[in-house]
Amino acid sequence: MRAPALRELQAGFWRSLHSGAPDAALVAAILPSATLTPAERVSIYQSMYVWRLHEVLGEDYPKTAEALGDGFESVVRRYLERHPSEHPSLRHLGRHLPAFLARDAATSERPWLAELARLELARTNAFDAPDAVPLRATDLHTIAPEAWASVRFVPIAAVEVVRSAWPVHEVWADPTATPSPRDTLVRVWRQEFRVFHAAIDALEASALERLVARAPFAAICDAVVEHVPPENAASSAGALLARWIEDGLLAAFES
Amino acid sequence: MGISVPYLGHGVGLRRQHYSAILDEGRRADWFEVISENFMIRGGRPLSVLERVRSERPIVLHGVSLSLGATDPLNVTYLAELGALARRFEPAWVSDHLCWGSYDLRYAHDLLPLPYTEEALDHVVARVCAVQDALGRRILVENVSSYVAFAHSTMPEWEFLAAVARRADCGILLDVNNVFVSAVNHGFDAYEYLAGIPLDRVGQIHLAGHTDNGTHLLDTHDHPVRAEVWDLYRAAVRRFGRVSTLVEWDERIPPFADVLAEAERARAAEAEVLADACARTA
């Protein structure tokens, strides 16, 4: 029998891992051991492939895995079939899982699970987002009163707003819960090296999205005015800014 | 010419489960090995921990995704990230595996075996040379545990590894546990393997635990080092002398003190062998 070229051999090996069925040409190229047939030897790699990546996805999506219970493994198998790893680092293996779950049969009766996965992905993204030294309240004293309208705050990289049709933060706290649909906004951020998330109101979400878009402070105040009476706008904007400073969301400002 | 790397003593892998023992309790190994890919990130705690550890101890970068034996083109983005990591943390050396792990731009995240043929040898040598050129440094290449052997291999693994090291002018990270696991799985003599590795190429030794599945051994890194592997390690020290040695423990990870204790066992075994060698020559 002709010896397979290296690339041909690797193609057969990859097909065996990806499909779960041992490739006939690969099996023909493998010697039996004293205790195992060639196909049994290939199956060691096939098992390890799924087991390892199942473990990684379980670590990245612990709440989603808990909610899916025994069904998580079959989700992982279908996911790997559709989205084999495209990156040398396992860090990126699960990046398509929320979108995958939104279309997968496993969540057709529990559509909030795709949203739960989206929250978990946002937390992972915050975990290793670039570092920043947050602004302190005293740093704002250098902003001249007449410059406030045009000042642009620079948010830390580790902040994101997750918009969901479900109270996804409550599902995160109890993955086995059956929630009622409710438009929900969740802020995900990292302070020092700890990742947090918290439900926020529409006012803060709107203002935060403008902050992330690097809009001037006047535009952030406009977002506030859309949600509170004009006489309360200044105090609401000030409170919002104070909260962002306290939570370490602001990295810098540009006058 | 051989490989020249510093002797670092007895180290352990830097694992997140041990961050607080290392940072808060101040426990240290002689040196730490870090998985390169885990630190190819933009920020956060792991990089901060590595900065701190590196300020106090030597580190080496140990990769799992270089995919030296793959037939896809080398991933230049990955190589650039590895180069940036090496410039930032100045590791004593950089290592990866004698295997392949990707096909058609998809990653298996496993250390898949190569056939030991002239074709594969030419291919791996060219890839190691290209990596070393890109990084501007020589690397160490590690033998992996394997569970299949190819009918068309034309040479034993140790001959293949020695030829890669000689022709690419790279070093060898000799995983003694992997030698033992593969020897049992394929029915070769582990001591013959050691005898086939050139004296001047081994820059580091790995030790780890494995699992006996009855029909084969599995390289699981979830146990203490087995007695047969300690014996093989002593034989390696007798052959290669003092070589920086590292204990790997990646599953069912025990407290840091237990991993450190395993590194101390390696230190004691090395000292015992070297003392014995001195006594014989005295």
For B180-220, give the DSSP string.
HHHHHHHT--HHHHHHTS-TT-EEEEEEE--EE-SSSEE--
- CB nearest B43 (choices: A4, A29, A129): A129
Q: Is A6 on the interface with B (CB under 8 A)?
A: yes
Q: What is the band of A55 on the pLDDT scale with cuts at 50, 70, 90?
A: very high
Q: What is the arithmetic mean of pLDDT over B136-154? A: 98
Tell me what pLDDT residue B277 has.
86
Tell me what pLDDT residue A71 has.
96
Q: What is the band of B24 on the pLDDT scale with cuts at 50, 70, 90?
A: confident
3-state secondary structure of A164: strand
- Best mutation target, A125, A193, A194, to test chain B (most B CBs within 10 A): A193
Tell me what pLDDT residue A149 has.
92
Question: Which H or E run contains B21?
Answer: helix B19-23
Span of A225-229, B65-69, B194-198, B199-203 with lowest mean pLDDT: A225-229
Q: Is B108 on the interface with A (CB under 8 A)?
A: yes
pLDDT of A68 over the 90 cut: yes
The overall average pLDDT reported for chain B is 97
Instruction: Using an 8 Å CB-CB cutoff, list chain B residues near A88.
Output: 37, 40, 65, 67, 75, 78, 102, 107
A41 contacts B38? CB cut-off 8 A = no
Q: What is the arithmetic mean of pLDDT over A209-215? A: 93
Tell me what pLDDT residue B26 has.
81
Q: What is the band of B2 on the pLDDT scale with cuts at 50, 70, 90?
A: confident
Nearest to B180 by CA among B116, B134, B215, B227: B227
Q: Which residues contact A179 (CB under 8 A, 6 or more apart)?
A: A112, A166, A167, A170, A171
Instruction: Using an 8 Å CB-CB cutoff, list chain B residues near A84.
Output: 106-107
Whether residue B98 contacts residue B143, with contact meaning beta carbons closer than 8 Å, is answered with yes
Tell me what pLDDT residue A158 has.
97
Assigned CATH class of A130-255: alpha beta
Boundaries of CATH 3.90.930.50 in chain A?
A: 130-255
3-state secondary structure of B102: strand
Q: Is B216 on the interface with A (CB under 8 A)?
A: yes
Alpha-carbon gap, residue B258 to A232, rounded angstroms: 60
Whether residue A106 contacts residue A73, with contact meaning beta carbons closer than 8 Å, is answered with no
Total Cβ atoms within 10 A of residue B276? 12
Q: Is A39 on the interface with B (CB under 8 A)?
A: no
3-state secondary structure of A144: coil
Q: Is A114 on the interface with B (CB under 8 A)?
A: no
Is 0.90 topped by the overall pTM?
yes
Condensed to tens digits (0 to 9), the pLDDT of residues B32-44 reads 999 999 999 999 9
Whether residue B118 contacts residue B151, with contact meaning beta carbons closer than 8 Å, is answered with no
B45 contacts A6? CB cut-off 8 A = no
pLDDT of B122 over the 80 cut: yes
Residue B61 — left, alpha, or beta (φ > 0 → left; ψ -120 to 50 → alpha)?
beta
3-state secondary structure of A237: helix
Nearest to B271 by CA among B238, B239, B249: B238
Tell me what pLDDT residue B158 has.
98
Q: What is the band of B27 on the pLDDT scale with cuts at 50, 70, 90?
A: confident
Instruction: Using an 8 Å CB-CB cutoff, list chain B residues near A91.
Output: 37-38, 40-41
What are the tokens at A201?
């109101």
Q: Which residues contact A144 (CB under 8 A, 6 or more apart)?
A: A255
- Best mutation target, A1, A2, A8, A14, to test chain B (most B CBs within 10 A): A14
Nearest to A164 by CA among A112, A96, A200: A112
pLDDT of B270 over the 80 cut: yes
Condensed to tens digits (0 to 9), the pLDDT of residues A143-195 reads 999 999 999 999 999 999 999 999 999 999 999 999 999 999 999 999 999 99
The residues in B 138-177 lying below 8 A from A, measured between CB atoms, are 147-152
Span of A64-73, A207-216, B21-30 with lowest mean pLDDT: B21-30
Q: What is the arithmetic mean of pLDDT over A63-72? A: 97
Nearest to B63 by CA among B124, B25, B13, B105: B13
pLDDT of B233 over the 80 cut: yes
Q: Domains along chain B?
A: 10-281 (3.20.20.150)
Q: What is the arithmetic mean of pLDDT over B122-145? A: 98
Looking only at the bridges linking them, the beta strands covering B140-142 and B94-97 are parallel
